[in-house]
Amino acid sequence: MYAQQAEARKRTILIIGSGFSGIAMAIALRRHGISDIIILERAKALGGTWQANSYPGCACDVESALYSLSFAPNPDWTNTFARQPEIQAYLARVANELGITPLIHFGEEVTGARWDEASQQWSVTTASRTWTVDVLVMANGPLSDPIPPNIPGLDMFCGPAFHTARWDPSVPLEGKRVAVIGTGASAIQVIPAIQPIVQQLIVAQRTPAWVMPRATWTIPKWRRTLYRRAPMLQRLLRGCLYFYHEFVFLPFRHPMLRRPGVALVGLHLKRQVRDRTLRAALTPTYAVGCKRLLVSNDYYPAITQPNVTLVPHAVMRVEPDAIITADGARHPVDVLILASGFRVTDPILAPVIIGRDGRSLADVWQGSPKAYMGTTVAGFPNLFMLLGPNTGLGHSSLVMIAEAQSKHVLGVLDLITQRGARSAEPRSGAQDRFVRMVDEGHSRSVWIRGGCKSWYLDKTGRNSALWPFGVGRFRRTVERVREEDYLTVADQAR
Ligand code: N01
């Protein structure tokens, strides 16, 4: 047994990405006695989504007391909903203090990975070299690869044009005519932040969003001191927020409970937008919650400012100095900001991760990502995905999801050790059962029945992005490993 454990500790684990999930995984592995860890990060700094999204106004839309690692509470949050620089600094500090930063190889973008059944190892390639490892953890984030909108003429635009997740701070916006394409979570944060400085702001809205008010305020110094001296108080707050979000989630699955939420978003819009025509243009026709429910107190007030024009039409064409919207109007602009979202259901790495049978994740998924516990995939031994298919949340903190998945990974690694094996993958029957359970959970939800087209749905119409239940159920389902659901190389069944 001791020999087996010593062997297990020698395993090399490669983690792609140094965002919340990658850092949480590395810490969990270290605490479990596994030290041979490599983290590959394509950017020059850690933070994942919180490194990539540096646009003005970028902040978390889940309360920071909940959107932090369970074992690293931060008494120093200065706002109930921290802004991006503070979140990135928090993650960097935790990674430094727990010795994770030296494990990160920056500027290493993974271009492919192939499982070798003979050696029972993964070969992971980057532009600079090939890494041969025993276990591969994909912690590269579901919201990390921007989708530029597919609009004719976009590449002919003469001025600066960039995605919110690729913000170019060298472009001055002061006194410029700026267009924002999109009205999702990123757009509604960037619009109020830049509205006061631009000369004119065109907001191109293809589909309006439902927006909730948010309880955001500066945390006074005395409270931060209190949290430092009595950490239990912040833990109590975290617990209250957790249960609050679990409660708020119920209407997503039970239409009967939706009335108060519908009244709240309607009232928020009515109070903040007095002009009836503008209000009508900002009112969605789909059910509340079908697309991601947004939270903001300053989006509607920004839209009502005299230098802002809401254009409630899709952008049909881009000319070198203007955008043309579906109503035929031409809007001259100097800068284009693309708040057009991310590749969620067709992850960029899926075609280049090659499993046991020589097939890629994209070949196996056929446009609809599926994984056992959102974490492992039949035919892909020793591959783990953090924040993988059906692990997303529209209502609470993804950090808790990543931590629960990390526990699952440790459990599977222990199982491999116990069985004296080299690799593990889920049985396809177990994976099918899990996917059926998730799909049944979605079947009557607002995400499927709410009358909208959202980024939660893949090209087959399946919701492969979200977990359909509460966070508590995710933890209960995923943290514990059901040994019978996993095949190891020692099994004759394979
Ligand atoms: O992207 P989105 P996002 N022509 O996909 C429009 C997370 N996040 O970056 O609705 C015109 O939501 C598109 O229009 P439509 C959060 O999970 C978290 O805003 O498809 N418009 C839509 O309005 C969030 O949900 C934080 O009709 C086009 C917009 O672009 C997720 O990231 C902060 C278009 C895309 O909205 C994604 O948010 C920010 C076209 N051709 C984001 N193509 C936190 O605080 C697309 N659009 C944690």
**Please, what are the domains in the chain?**
2-145+344-490 (3.50.50.60), 154-209+291-338 (3.50.50.60)
9 pLDDT more than 70: no
Q: Are 133 and 124 in contact (CB under 8 A)?
A: yes
Q: Are 165 and 146 in contact (CB under 8 A)?
A: yes
Mean pLDDT of 437-465: 95
Residue 450 backbone dihedrals phi, psi, to 5 degrees: -80, 0
Distance CA 390, CA 468 (A): 8
Q: Which is nearest to 61 in space by CA: 406, 273, 292, 337?
A: 292
The percent of residues above 70 in pLDDT, for the chain, comes to 97
352 pLDDT more than 70: yes
**Residue 7 corresponds to which amino acid?**
E
Q: 467-489, pLDDT tens digit by residue?
A: 999 999 999 999 999 999 999 98
Q: 315-344, pLDDT tens digit by residue?
A: 999 999 999 999 999 999 999 999 999 999
DSSP secondary structure of 5-56: HHHHHT--EEEE--SHHHHHHHHHHHHTT---EEEEESSSSS-THHHH---T
3-state secondary structure of 330: strand
Atom from ligand 1 closest to the CA of residue 187: 19
Distance CA 258, CA 462 (A): 23
Mean pLDDT is lowest, of 3-7, 93-97, 270-274, for 3-7
Q: 40-68, pLDDT tens digit by residue?
A: 999 999 999 999 999 999 999 999 999 99
Atom from ligand 1 closest to the CA of residue 149: 41
Distance CA 407, CA 236 (A): 23
Q: Sheet of 37-41: strands edge to edge?
A: 104-106, 37-41, 13-16, 135-138, 383-385
CA of 397 to the centre of ligand 1 (A): 18
Mean pLDDT of 370-374: 98
pLDDT at 6: 61
Q: 67-102, pLDDT tens digit by residue?
A: 999 999 999 999 999 999 999 999 999 999 999 999
> Sorting pLDDT into bands at 50, 70 and 90, what band is 493?
very low
Confirm or reject: Cβ of 455 under 6 Å from ligand 1. Answer: yes
**Residue 154 corresponds to which amino acid?**
L
Which residue has the least CA distance to atom 22 on ligand 1?
Answer: 182
Q: Are 488 and 423 in contact (CB under 8 A)?
A: yes
4 pLDDT more than 80: no
Q: Which two tokens stand for residue 130?
A: 């090939």
* Integer CA distances (angstroms), 320 to 178, 199, 245, in order: 14, 19, 46
Which residue has the least CA distance to atom 41 on ligand 1?
Answer: 149
Mean pLDDT of 416-433: 96
Cα end-to-end span (Å), the chain: 25
Give the mean pLDDT of the chain. Answer: 95
The percent of residues above 90 in pLDDT, for the chain, comes to 92
> Sorting pLDDT into bands at 50, 70 and 90, what band is 36?
very high
> Sorting pLDDT into bands at 50, 70 and 90, what band is 491?
very low
Confirm or reject: Cβ of 52 under 6 Å from ligand 1. Answer: no
Mean pLDDT is lowest, of 122-126, 143-147, 188-192, for 143-147
pLDDT at 1: 53
7 pLDDT more than 80: no
Residue 368 backbone dihedrals phi, psi, to 5 degrees: -135, 90
Confirm or reject: Cβ of 181 under 6 Å from ligand 1. Answer: yes
pLDDT at 453: 94
Among 55, 186, 303, say which to mutate for ligand 1: greatest number of ligand atoms within 8 Å of CB: 186
3-state secondary structure of 326: coil
- The string over 394-407, giving b where at least 16 C-beta atoms fall within 10 Å of a residue's C-beta and e elsewhere, is bbbbbbbbbbbbbb
Among 340, 454, 455, say which to mutate for ligand 1: greatest number of ligand atoms within 8 Å of CB: 340
Paired strand residues for 317: 324
In eight-state DSSP terms, residue 235 is H
34 pLDDT more than 80: yes
> Sorting pLDDT into bands at 50, 70 and 90, what band is 8?
low
CA diameter of the chain: 74
Q: 203-234, pLDDT tens digit by residue?
A: 999 999 999 999 999 999 999 999 999 999 99
pLDDT at 140: 97
Confirm or reject: Cβ of 339 under 6 Å from ligand 1. Answer: yes
Mean pLDDT of 287-305: 96
Cα–chain center distance at 277: 34
Confirm or reject: Cβ of 314 under 6 Å from ligand 1. Answer: yes
Long-range contacts of 450-453 (CB under 8 A, 24+ apart): 450/286, 450/287, 450/288, 450/289, 450/290, 450/291, 451/285, 451/286, 451/287, 451/290, 452/207, 452/284, 452/286, 452/287, 452/290, 452/291, 453/207
Confirm or reject: Cβ of 206 under 6 Å from ligand 1. Answer: yes
Confirm or reject: Cβ of 312 under 6 Å from ligand 1. Answer: no
3 pLDDT more than 70: no
Among 86, 143, 167, 395, say which to mutate for ligand 1: greatest number of ligand atoms within 8 Å of CB: 143
Atom from ligand 1 closest to the CA of residue 150: 41
User: What global pTM score does this model have?
Assistant: 0.95
492 pLDDT more than 50: no
Helix ranges restricted to H, 70-196: 84-97, 185-194
* Integer CA distances (angstroms), 396 to 61, 211, 241, 248, 449, in order: 9, 16, 9, 9, 21
494 pLDDT more than 50: no
